[in-house]
A and B are shown apart, each in its own frame.
Chain A
Amino acid sequence: MSMTTLVKEKLGIVPLVEGGKTYKQVTEEILQPTDNFPTSLWWKAFILALTVTIVDLGIIGYLCYDGLYILGVNNPVGWGFFIVNFVFWIGIGHAGTLISAVLFLFRQGWRTGINRAAEAMTIFAVLTAATTLIIHIGRPWLGFWLFPYPNNRGPLWVNFRSPLIWDTFAVSTYLSISLVFWYIGLVPDIASLRDRTTHKVKKAIYSAMSLGWVGSNRAWSHYEIVCMLLAALSTPLVLSVHTIVSFDFAVSILPGWHTTILPPYFVAGAIFSGFAMVVTLMVIARQVFKLEQYITLKHLENMNKIIMVTGLMVGYAYGSEFFIAWYSGNEYEGFTFVNRAFGPYAWAYWIMISCNVLSPQVFWFESMRKNIKVMFVVSIFVNIGMWFERFVIVMTTHRDFLPSNWALYIPTFYDFAMLIGTFGIFFTLFLLFCRILPIIAIAEVKTVMPHKEGAHH
């Protein structure tokens, strides 16, 4: 027994891939689901998600035809469910980048088991968010007006001082960088798929997608540096994206929105909700694809710890907001927060508090962090709570400076339909990904497997 093994046993460090597998087994087991005909469970889930998406597209078509008045938007609440959904989905995406970039820079080996699926989740969540944003502008076919481009309407440019334009740039940069980062990670695994299939058509498709990857170390040497660069660039990028999303609110002059705590509070909330979504998806995926030995309890426990930490940050932010509203002596600010907690939307506020602050507290106990059922329920609660957090932020502007202006935001059938529709879009894309591509980064998992003794380190 070598020194390293002894130390690991003494410290109780468990291997990241269980079952003492060989490299060959890893390739085979992870790629197996892409060979089989999809199971009936997959078909049922996929048909359900696809139906929701198609119905959603129909409703979006009707919305474009008839106009935004079919929603609950009114004068004090100009930003309805769409912005709630937008911030919710962008936030979900952030966990993927955190896992693939921030944990990469911190050399956290356990990220390799979950980063592929989490990055895919990022991309699909950002796409879903982008769709709600585009519909929200009212005339979606003119969405390209958000970008500055030479046009013949005189020297007509976008206003770069507007946080909505910052958002356009932040979200599109985030989407493109995440997409290439994810794809670069996929290239060696697609090459494995290509070399293993005997089907002619599949081989041709995989060859084109693998960009001629043969595993040459002359390419690996650049590849690793590029992954590190993208991780180093994505880390400030992911912080900037949710900071800029929070600027949509913070740069306005409305009480309750115009606060400096919003950027860090949004970033912590984004990571919190994103990790909850990763736990929800991974708990299901590891069982359906029989990957319990790759996505182990250790991975899940680590994620639950992050959920608890970010949950505490979010809870602290809720408290701090309230304190400052009182301490500032600003009566408008004070009124807004009292109205949030005890006004007509108090039910939403307390759903948010109980889901986001109270429910993750069970993770103080190791037995709870390692209990699949408990973590699944908590992750669902956190997703609900974080959706309500954005609901509370957006909807509680319903009482503005003029009492004659006061109204309630009453969501209509179309609001709810399009909220459900976003889940349809997301799950359709995610289920397709699970079928077609390996959901675990094979080449990366191999680098954290226990190598033979006497290896260079």
Chain B
Amino acid sequence: MYWFKKEQFHSYKETTQGVFGLFDTPEEILHAAEKTKANKYTDFDCLTPFPVHGLDEAMGLPRSGIPWISFFMGFVGCAFGFGFQYLVHSVDWGINFSGKALNAWPAYIPVTFETTVFFAGMSAVASLYVLSRSNHAFRKPLHPEITSHRFALWIPSNSANFKQDEVVAFIKSLGAKDVTVVK
């Protein structure tokens, strides 16, 4: 059965200690991510200035589960919009408009559509906010050039098999230009 899995709701991992290496091209970071995954380091991250095609697969990240949330909330919005109008015009405040039925449901479709879109869209954005941990606005970036033109591989100290010297040597072996230890 096609149903969501818990790991689809993976989130940004807040880590402050570890080692990072900088690369110059998207291909290098893609290659580095594949190697890091194969080397059984866990919880590592790739920081890039733009979304790199294929990096999710290289890091072993499953497809985002946000569409499930959005779909569910769209359903809720649809039921809310329709139900609200039904309650207003048929239960709470029934007024006879030129002899039309009290529950003139075709007239409710436009507002129902708008509430569906509103709930689905806003819940997707809210999920993104939560899963990318955006409440930490003053998070310190690793390196100022990552949001411009460089690609970083970050292996945090809580990663499995983390031994600082080994990790530094490993990232260097991937071809990183600068390798920095953050403590």
Contact = CB atoms under 8 A, between A and B. Distances in A.
Q: For A211, A224, A234, which residue has the most chain B Cβ atoms within 10 angstroms?
A: A211
Contacts of A223: 51, 128, 132
Chain B: interface size category = 35 or more
A230 B124 contact: yes
Contacts of B181: none
Contact of A212 (B51, B136, B142): B136
Interface stretch (B86-94, B161-169, B170-178): B86-94
A22 B49 CA distance: 13
A126 to B, nearest CB: 14
Contacts, number: 220
Which of the listed residues B48, B49, B64, B120 has the most CB atoms from chain A within 10 Å of its own CB?
B49
A122 to B, nearest CB: 15
Contacts of A229: 66-67, 70, 120-121, 124
A214 interface: yes
A195 B147 contact: yes
Given A169-B115, A217-B61, A191 B88 contact: no
A83 interface: no
A446 B110 contact: no
A216 B12 contact: yes
Given A219-B132, A222-B127, A237-B117, A214 B27 contact: no
Contacts of B48: 215, 217, 220
A247 interface: yes
A148 B108 CA distance: 14
Interface in B148-169: 148-149, 152
A64 B114 CA distance: 31
Interface in A10-45: 22-24, 26-28
A414 B93 CA distance: 40
9 pairs of A and B residues whose beta carbons are closest in the complex = A23-B149, A219-B132, A211-B134, A195-B144, A212-B139, A225-B64, A161-B107, A166-B110, A24-B149
8 contacts: A161-B97, A212-B135, A214-B147, A220-B52, A223-B128, A244-B110, A451-B26, A451-B27
